[in-house]
Structure 1
């Protein structure tokens, strides 16, 4: 088993229960062919990242200016809800990679504003593969199962929440340990998180960037043919991007915003309530409409919400981008990405989310 490492974060911020490794570069079009033909699972391949351009970085800074205060308030709400639901101790387990910056922030927020120390681990969970059971066993050596808090940035269709539930049910059978299958997020679009600060599809600034806002760590990878039975899931550590790393900048800037939000509310903030069943209904109706309108047979090809749409345009072959409003400031980075890749944009004014991206289906592929 690999020793945990911290990426470009400090040792007090997080322990990545991931195995740094070298991975060949699989170009996006080749990766898409292999995924859709069923020859390989997406978790077995990685398209190497590059440093964001100056133009694209400006969109990140605009996103910070637009939404850092809202995100700060939501971090306080989420931290308070964590304490309400974990009165006997908190162990933060962020889901790599989108959950990692949120987990780092929550660790600091809990300590600074709620006088609560919490260890923070970041572990892999992959659709169809499941959660990294070796990482869970590592955590459970020192922490009570009921203290675990699984953290992510947002929900899209709710696939990861469902995968978490399935994985932890299997873990209870194999290891005889029951862990609450509860996901904690900033924004729960699909009504699938147990606890959320809001259900609004807003631009969480960290979703714009990849490794350079996530401790220089890639998304997680796993190939059962190459991994030893006791290995953690893998990742690539982009040490060569150190001069371009914004991970620490993001944490420090957000914590200053949280401090301001705390002073403003004097601890008197309240959680936003939302109807999970209603959100689930909206999500399903959207999936059904998109499937019919664009002749899509599998919901895996539909990625709702700003965060999921961003992932598609950064990592996959996109067929089309749907936007609620072409001039919306929150989706300018998506418009930039689509235009730079010649991806068509449809404006759908009654879309329930700010954005939806559709993965391009390759001719003759059905997976």
Structure 2
């Protein structure tokens, strides 16, 4: 049995002023990764009903993260600043950031701090969204009772195939008061409303899980522990406290955000940018699906962060990379070699992505 703590107000290990998670801490049994994969692929269970125990990162993996942060913090700070300036122009007085748990949380914290620094009234919440099941409407109702709908922007780290962007649009189609304005750092599939770039690059927080996200698990939507009036559930991974990098990560990147705010132009993400990226993304997904006989495209996990997380959480069959010597792929290559997952080098054939993981079919 997994155990969890239940704070009165859920902030994880973030500063309480940085984010409020609208999640219900729950207790659920841990599901073995292979069994979880079998249940997902057979249709017996939805992925959100189960969770596998999150292990501490190894010393080698933490060193890879430290190197990624050292190399990527300046770019991340600059791109956060560009998004903040863009949001200030669109909504100069009041902004409500709704970060999609959990990859959106550290991005949203940095973005909220930047907006406060340039004089915007900001509130920041962490909310669950589940593929095929939608956004947590109880959480959204909670926010809209306190903040104007026109001020709401949704935050995530990146897009992969665009499944979450599509889920957000589908969920909000019957809620005309809220626009599905998704803000991300990297949008290689062209699914976001606003992005700092369309490049698939190594966002440092993308290769860690709970230990850079306030020790919060990904969200859980299981009828045994989440009732009709509840927020979606989560685990607080207290056993990872000794490995937590949440606040050091935020403080490191924030210094670069501060340095960039005065000189960085506002991010611009046009329909032409989105269309170009969407076409390129579709082409590479189609090619991989055709080449490997994939009928369920949920088995294809494109982009550095998604490809890396798929090795940690799922059962990978093989990984396609542009160049295995690319330093931005160090975490992915380390995990692949540790798990003895084949790496296929496909120079130029995975663009606009730099890595794609294919999940193994489980009978």
TM bracket, shorter-chain basis: over 0.9
Match of 1:129 in 2: 133
The answer as to 2:19 corresponding to 1:23 is: no
TM-score (norm 1): 0.93
Task: Please give the alpha-carbon distance, in whole angstroms, between the structure 1 residues aligned to 2:296 and 2:238.
Answer: 37
Task: Please give the alpha-carbon distance, in whole angstroms, between the structure 2 residues aligned to 1:293 and 1:333.
Answer: 26
The answer as to 2:175 corresponding to 1:160 is: no
Residues 268 and 221 of structure 1, relative CA distance in 2, 3 Å threshold? closer
* Unpaired runs of at least 5, structure 1: none
Residues 96-149 of structure 1 show CA distances to partners (whole Å, capped at 9, x for unaligned) of: 00000000111111112x121301000000001100000001111111111111
Residues 328-349 of structure 1 show CA distances to partners (whole Å, capped at 9, x for unaligned) of: 0000100000111111100000
In the alignment, which of 297, 301, 304 is matched to residue 295 of structure 2? 297
Match of 2:114 in 1: 109
- Is 2:26–2:225's contact at 8 Å kept on the other side of the alignment? no
Q: List aligned pairs for 1:53-202, cutoff 5 A.
A: 53-112=58-117, 114-170=118-174, 172=175, 178-202=177-201
TM-score (norm 2): 0.94
**How many angstroms does 1:270 deviate by?**
4.7
**How many angstroms does 1:11 deviate by?**
1.2
Task: Please give the alpha-carbon distance, in whole angstroms, between the structure 2 residues aligned to 1:224 and 1:181.
Answer: 27
**How many angstroms does 1:224 deviate by?**
2.8
User: RMSD across aligned C-alpha pairs, in angstroms?
Assistant: 1.4
Residues 156-206 of structure 1 show CA distances to partners (whole Å, capped at 9, x for unaligned) of: 111000000111113x2xxxx520111000011111100001001000000
- Is 2:101–2:129's contact at 8 Å kept on the other side of the alignment? yes
Match of 1:267 in 2: 263
Q: Indicate the SS of the match to 1:184.
A: strand
**How many angstroms does 1:21 deviate by?**
1.2
Q: Indicate the SS of the match to 1:142.
A: coil
- Is 1:3–1:17's contact at 8 Å kept on the other side of the alignment? no
Task: Please give the alpha-carbon distance, in whole angstroms, between the structure 1 residues aligned to 2:95 and 2:322.
Answer: 38
Task: Please give the alpha-carbon distance, in whole angstroms, between the structure 2 residues aligned to 1:108 and 1:68.
Answer: 16
In the alignment, which of 337, 341, 344 is matched to residue 343 of structure 1? 341
Task: Please give the alpha-carbon distance, in whole angstroms, between the structure 1 residues aligned to 2:125 and 2:225.
Answer: 24
Task: Please give the alpha-carbon distance, in whole angstroms, between the structure 2 residues aligned to 1:272 and 1:87.
Answer: 17
Runs in 1 of length 4+ with deviation above 4 angstroms? none
